[in-house]
Amino acid sequence: MIGLPLVYLIAGMMFAAFAVLSFGDRTNRKRWGNAAFWGLVAISFLLGDHLGDLGNGFLVLGLALLAGTGQLGVGAPSTTSASDRRVMAERLGPLLFLPALVIPLITLVGTFAFKAITIGGLPVVEAKNATLIALALAAIVAAVLAQRLFGQPISSPLQEGRRLMDLVGWAALLPQMLAALGAVFALAGVGKTIGDLAVAWTPVDSRFAVVAAYCLGMAGFTILMGNAFAAFPVMTAGIALPLVIGRYGGDPAVVCAIGMLSGFCGTLLTPLAANFNLVPAALLQLRDRYGVIRAQAPTAILMLVINMVLMNALAFRT
């Protein structure tokens, strides 16, 4: 049966290629640091199951040491120039977006098709991970399609991938690290602690104050975690369930939906949400690394205030 090990293998091989290419890039003064950093990431994907908790812990400390001491730099991968990309864009027109559109299409088809494919009554692909496996295969198909469509060398997808990783740097790993941190917080009972603090500090006799505490807490914890999905179980268990829903009888569907949207307001305000806020700045090569966040901040704050008003108006109508 095909499962997550295939996805880990593909990701590990990709990061291993980044490490090798980084090591060979003599234009980068910090090529040794880049090679070591992406090499450790590759090891975590390829051998993480065999390293154990202690081994993986030392690996993470190694990553933090390399990033924290400024050992990562930006090289000059052997890839197309800005003028080359402009010529290709003018030549291909709308076809330029074809590889990007192939990814969601194959992922969607694979999600449903893989669950139906069986051999001898046994599934070929692990059903619960069908979407992730389809996404990994879609990325490979899109990379091959782009390489053929643009007439680039076989190494071009890896060089472009390394270029993006060099621009984003250690922040590329934040979603993975913060998701793990969210799981640790949930197991450690952080939600209960936050609930106790909310009861102690919030005027619980005021319904709007409780609603505001939940919405602001979702946004604030998301800013710290970089991930609204990691903040949701903690803040919902700590504030929404005992106070907004339990004490004041709020509609769980409305409370949770607007609470999650409040968390997304925090996503717009934090560099820890690297895939939303730092990657676009790197792709567009903006001078201000936090320019995306600065542009989004007024909308995020306005939406957060509106969410508090909406939750107070819609969650308690009965």
DSSP sequence for 31-60: HHHHHHHHHHHHHHHHHHHHHHHHHHHHHH
Virtual CA dihedral for 294, 299, 303, 306, nearest 10 degrees? 120
Domain-embedded: residue 173:
no
State how far the Cα of 235 lies from the Cα of 240, in Å rounded to an integer: 7
Contact status, residue 165 vs residue 278, Cβ threshold 8 Å: no
Domain-embedded: residue 136:
yes
Predicted local confidence at residue 235, as pLDDT: 86
Predicted local confidence at residue 314, as pLDDT: 93
- Per-residue pLDDT tens digits of the chain, which is 318 residues long: 788 888 999 999 999 999 999 888 888 888 899 899 999 999 999 998 888 888 888 998 999 899 888 888 887 777 777 787 788 888 888 888 888 899 999 999 988 888 788 877 777 888 888 888 999 999 999 999 988 888 888 888 888 888 888 877 887 787 777 767 766 776 777 767 776 777 777 787 889 999 999 999 999 988 988 878 778 888 888 889 888 998 899 999 999 999 999 999 999 999 888 778 877 777 777 788 888 899 999 999 999 999 999 999 999 976
Predicted local confidence at residue 115, as pLDDT: 79
Residue 1 CB neighbour total at 10 angstroms: 10
Q: Does residue 128 share a domain with residue 270?
A: no
Q: Does residue 217 share a domain with residue 164?
A: no
In the chain, where do the E strands start and end?
118-119, 122-123
Strand-pair partners of 118:
123
Domain-embedded: residue 179:
no
Q: Does residue 290 share a domain with residue 257?
A: yes
Predicted local confidence at residue 41, as pLDDT: 92
State how far the Cα of 52 lies from the Cα of 180, in Å rounded to an integer: 15
Q: Does residue 255 share a domain with residue 196?
A: yes
Q: Does residue 15 share a domain with residue 132?
A: yes
Residue 211 CB neighbour total at 10 angstroms: 29
Q: Does residue 9 share a domain with residue 134?
A: yes
Q: Does residue 228 share a domain with residue 310?
A: yes
What's the distance, Cα to Cα, between the start and end of the chain in Å? 50
Domain-embedded: residue 184:
no
Q: 258, 287, 274: which is closest to 226 by C-alpha?
A: 274
Residues spanned by the domain of 67: 4-168
Predicted local confidence at residue 318, as pLDDT: 63
Predicted local confidence at residue 284, as pLDDT: 75
Angle subtended at Cα 314 by Cα 309 and Cα 318, rounded to the nearest 5 degrees: 140
